[in-house]
Amino acid sequence: MHDFNKAAALIVTLGILGMCMPSHAGDIETGLDTDSKTNVYVRPGDGTTGYSVDGKTQLVFPGNGKQGFTPDGKLVTVTPGYEREEEPQTPPQSTQAAPSAQGIIAGGYELVYIPAGEFWMGSPDGEGESDERPRHKVYLDGYYIGKYEVTVAQYRKFCNATGRTMPGQPDLNGHDNPVVGVSWDDAKSYSEWAGMRLPTEAEWEKAARGGTDTKYWWGNSESHDYANYDGTGGLDRWSGMGPAGSFPSNGYGLYDTSGNVWEWCADWYGGGYYGSSPANNPAGPTHGSFRVLRGGSWYNAPSGVSSANRNRSDPGGRDPNDGFRCAK
């Protein structure tokens, strides 16, 4: 249940809403969330529930309709009298924000289901580097992909079970930080040991986009509130790598696809591959010299952690900024 006492400090004043529009029980009227400057729907008829204007957040107005907060405890202060442009066509449900609620555990590692369908892969003309173009539509069958980068603790279990040498980790890289210093071959071996595989580059990008076509999964502007890249600010407190899952998740419920550590993909790297890749389930060139790395890391500029940015490395190399996540 909500902590009403705690929320009492956050006052929602809805009293004069009724003066702005005709009102009767069941109508949805609006107010302005003075904190986020977003439009808020309220139901003056019963005074107990409402929704944010995007329909994703249910608001609760206990008792007298004078106080309100979201289910996750966010307080909403409403300035009455803000007129909406149109009413929602269907009653919004809070569950609409989670397109990938299904998940499984493999080898102690949490995976999220990405439904089958198309997405736009790469960058549009005039954006990104040449190997990100042409932007093209790709269809993928449904698949699972790791919710987090594989951590030090998870990789250590693999080493202990198989007699492998645990790769040296940077100072302060704790159990919950992503493992680094793993080659492409190491990442593939871990994945197979745990009953999984590495994602294809297309699978990685679709997952990382979280249903968006923007430069970053959260929009087109860089922000330290969503990813660990070079420098600090906002939620980014790390000058090096940080624990997996320290930032908000994207639309598919995945963490740190953007930044923190680079992530190995299954594919050979081909700089011109997008010009001839198959439209369905592309798996990369048939041969090559380098394997694909995606997502950028803690030391990259913002452009390095965009959804479409591509990188590559020697599959035998063990770089202190390279990690991975698994797929299935």
The alpha carbon dihedral of 119, 122, 127, 133 has a sign of: negative
Q: Which member of 236, 252, 273, 326 binds Ca ion (CB under 5 A)?
A: 236
The Cα–Cα gap between 207 and 115 comes to 10
Q: Which residue is nearest to Ca ion (CB)?
A: 295
Q: Which member of 228, 246, 249, 307 binds Ca ion (CB under 5 A)?
A: 228
Q: Which stretch binds Ca ion (CB under 5 A): 137-145, 165-173, 180-188, 260-268?
A: 260-268
Nearest residue to 80 via CA among 25, 24, 11 = 11
Q: Which stretch binds Ca ion (CB under 5 A): 40-48, 65-73, 90-98, 220-228?
A: 220-228
The Cα–Cα gap between 326 and 147 comes to 9
Omega before 91 within 30 of 0, i.e. cis: no
- Give me the least distance between CB of 148 and Ca ion, in Å please: 9
183 binds Ca ion (CB under 5 A): no
107 binds Ca ion (CB under 5 A): no
- Give me the least distance between CB of 263 and Ca ion, in Å please: 5
The Cα–Cα gap between 293 and 181 comes to 13
The Cα–Cα gap between 172 and 15 comes to 53
Q: Which stretch binds Ca ion (CB under 5 A): 56-64, 116-124, 197-205, 258-266?
A: 258-266
Nearer to Ca ion, 69 or 229 (CB): 229
Nearest residue to 265 via CA among 193, 194, 322, 195 = 322
Q: How do the residues of the chain divide into helix, strand and coil, expressed in percent and rounded to 5? A: 15, 25, 60
Nearer to Ca ion, 70 or 309 (CB): 309
Contact, 23 vs 42, CB < 8 A?
A: no
322 binds Ca ion (CB under 5 A): no
238 binds Ca ion (CB under 5 A): yes
Tell which positions 275-304 bind Ca ion, by CB under 5 A: 295
- Which residues contact Ca ion (rule: CB under 5 A)? 228, 236, 238, 256, 260, 295
